[in-house]
Structure 1
């Protein structure tokens, strides 16, 4: 037994020690209202910064929020510039191939946004339950047939790299022009200027935009689309190797869901409960 261990380092036969997380650097966009907002003076606020402050307190770690553009967020985390990413990131199988995720802390539907006078699509019914869809073309095609007919020949704006981008590309590019933007807010500006006819995005972001006086001529249009088609819900992104950090985040999120903190914060920022539900 002893001879078999000659030449083998002690470190190689001992279990790897988990990192003691005393501090976290969290990257967020700072411009995806009301999930994350940069206030005058540079302070970050919104649903996610407030939720993260609560989670960090539960985990007993010091947390620092930094601003990072969405298109470089995952690469920056992988390069070690920060520890986790928090930007209404929907958990999908494709993203799981790149990074790890906490359990979901929110789940939201999406909808089109149009100008009120355009008559591109009928105004949406905010009281109607979202149309629940799975990632199945046989189910999706009949559900969006009227939307495709209405948007034929139109231009649709979509933020690049979101969970909604491939959906719009797959189901609407054959009837409409699709224009991608670096940020959702940029697509809204072009909609206001009538450079495009509709924007497709998360309903919570849309409601935040519509609450602004300068957007009084915009509206949610058509049905809200939700369900497993958008993945499991929004989660905190982290490196796959940081399994110990994932365990801490999961425990804190479960506690925040159980005691109603997520519900309270979502009703404050979204005026609706985005607590994840079973698929």
Structure 2
């Protein structure tokens, strides 16, 4: 990030003070159009349809939110690992990619109110399931004793195995911290790439969001994949999924917050989540 020189900072401060003294009002930015970045490959949150158009839960929700705000919206594709950096560099105005709010991310991103909250689980092949599927959700807090007790059976099943995980997600540090002592951990640029390696037999399991896993398992080419073990959810994954804007763009955050609250209140989020996830993910 480029830092302004001290003399430049002083001059700007002096100019701002002069404007205020002279009675000139400082206007907030008028948001008539915004650009939203999404991955375009994290089904069913967002996906690229034949012809290049973006679809999925988030693009459809964003379309609704933009109508509520009376703002023109443009969706662009951006790899997840460069998404936050691109936002702060001014390449786009909003990021929307099933992004979970975390304390570390809040230091560099201004988050909207959450519009979803989902658990995570392991995916394996049917011919070598590490653990039977258990669709019960174990709610975890940021408590090492609680976590170690809950995941003990998973660690035993994954001993000596290789786990695939998308890099830079809220799940990555969890897998690194709690499973690297018993298994090899392999990071991928995208969750879809991890699934491809699972299919090819290069890894034994993938850990990811349940909604993404459901989408992958619904595909004909993935009929040999299955859930493994329980679903892990709760406050350990943060406050829920939300959109991110730059720290300075509080006015844009306020507009998005109002639109999201409206979409939650009138059932729009629930309707879209049941369409794309077959379950209600409203926070």
**Coarse TM-score class (shorter-chain normalised):** over 0.9
Instruction: Write the deviation string for residues 225-270 of structure 1: whole angstroms up to 9, x where unpaired.
Output: 0000000000001101000001000000000000000000000000
In the TM superposition, residue 9 of structure 1 has moved relative to its aligned partner by 1.2
Which SS does the other structure have where 2:202 is aligned? coil
Instruction: Write the deviation string for residues 190-216 of structure 1: whole angstroms up to 9, x where unpaired.
Output: 101111000000000000000001000
| Alignment partner of 1:9 is 2:6 | no
Q: Distance in 2 between matches of 1:146 and 1:16?
A: 59
Q: Distance in 2 between matches of 1:111 and 1:8?
A: 54
Q: What are the residue-to-residue correspondences of 1:48-87 with 2, within 5 Å? A: 48-87=58-97
Pick the aligned partner of 1:222 from 197, 212, 229: 229
Q: Distance in 1 between matches of 2:175 and 2:279?
A: 25
Which residue number corresponds to residue 144 of structure 1? 151
Kept in 1, the 8 Å contact 2:94–2:245? The answer is yes
Instruction: Write the deviation string for residues 94-125 of structure 1: whole angstroms up to 9, x where unpaired.
Output: 00011110000000000000001103222x23
Which residue number corresponds to residue 102 of structure 1? 112
In the TM superposition, residue 32 of structure 1 has moved relative to its aligned partner by 0.3
In the TM superposition, residue 18 of structure 1 has moved relative to its aligned partner by 1.5
Pick the aligned partner of 2:268 from 242, 251, 261: 261
Moved more, 14-23 or 187-196: 14-23
Q: Which TM-score applies when normalising by structure 2? A: 0.92
Structure 1 segments unaligned to the other structure (5+ residues)? 1-6
Q: Which TM-score applies when normalising by structure 1? A: 0.93
Instruction: Write the deviation string for residues 137-192 of structure 1: whole angstroms up to 9, x where unpaired.
Output: 01100000000011000000000000000000000000000000000000000101
Which residue number corresponds to residue 4 of structure 1? none
Q: Distance in 1 between matches of 2:274 and 2:180?
A: 35
Q: What are the residue-to-residue correspondences of 1:94-133 with 2, within 5 Å? A: 94-122=104-132, 124-126=133-135, 128=136, 130-133=137-140
For this pair of structures, how many residues does the alignment match?
267
Q: What are the residue-to-residue correspondences of 1:263-278 with 2, within 5 Å? A: 263-276=270-283
Specify whether residues 16 and 188 from structure 1 end up closer, same or farther in structure 2 by C-alpha distance, changes over 3 A only: same
| Alignment partner of 1:160 is 2:172 | no
Kept in 1, the 8 Å contact 2:129–2:228? The answer is no
What is the aligned-residue RMSD (CA, Å)? 1.3
Q: Distance in 1 between matches of 2:222 and 2:95?
A: 29
Q: Distance in 2 between matches of 1:43 and 1:228?
A: 34
Instruction: Write the deviation string for residues 3-45 of structure 1: whole angstroms up to 9, x where unpaired.
Output: xxxx951246766422111001000000000000101110000
